[in-house]
Amino acid sequence: MNSKRRLLQSGFGVFLLGVLAFALFFYFNFKTVEVRGQSMEPTFESGQHVLMSNNYWLVGQIRREDFVIVRVPDTKEALIKRVKGLGGDVIDFMYVPHDWKLSSGEYKVPEGHYYVLGDNRPVSQDSRDYGAFEAKDIEGKVVVLGPEPWIFAVGLAAALLAVSTLMSLGFERSRRKRGVDP
């Protein structure tokens, strides 16, 4: 009976450590952001929450058609937009910055910059107004879309904790079979 109790305690301890590790990992790698305004309709509605990360080793590099959170230089305003061009890309003349003269030729996104547009173009303030955004102005990449991104996090946490608990139980049984006293 005593060994079952120790097994239960050690499994629960691993479970709690798993919860703490996941909470810290999530806290330092992800952030929820609320969509405000109509510039991304119909993809995102005002008031909807998305999950974003700026750890590209974890979520992949920014590519065309990704959604990003950009910080407008010299303001505290953050915008959610779709990436339409990367450094070196030529932008369609319909979407060039408003101050770009067509007589200047085609508009190329400068290297190290991103050209972003809102999905609801008539009301969106984006690269047509501000120009291409430097990489340092990108706060992160949206990784989970949907009304409640925390559901994804809870599901992932439950899966990780179940695996860690099963591993702990297997480790404890293996120790007992070998005669190692915990």
Rg, the chain, Cα only: 24
Q: Report the 10 Å Cβ neighbour count for 95.
A: 16
108/89 Cα distance (integer angstroms): 5
Task: Quote the DSSP letter at residue 179.
Answer: T
- Alpha-helical (H) ranges within the chain are 2-29, 56-59, 127-130, 150-178
Dihedral of CA 2/4/7/9: which sign? negative
> Which tens digits make up the pLDDT trace of 62-82?
999 999 999 998 888 889 999
Confidence grade of residue 153 (pLDDT, cut at 50, 70, 90): low
Q: Find where tokens 């910055």 sit.
A: 97
Q: Tokens 């950009």 — which residue? A: 70
Q: Among candidates 110, 126, 146, which has minimal Cα distance to 77?
A: 126
Largest separation between any pair of C-alpha atoms in the chain: 85
Q: What is the pLDDT of residues 78-114, one digit of tens each?
A: 899 999 999 999 999 999 999 999 889 999 999 999 9
Distance CA 114, CA 148 (A): 28
For the ranges 44-48, 77-81, 174-178, the one whose mean pLDDT is highest: 77-81
Q: Residue 51's closest CA among 153, 156, 138?
A: 153
Phi, psi of 122 (to 5 degrees): -60, -25
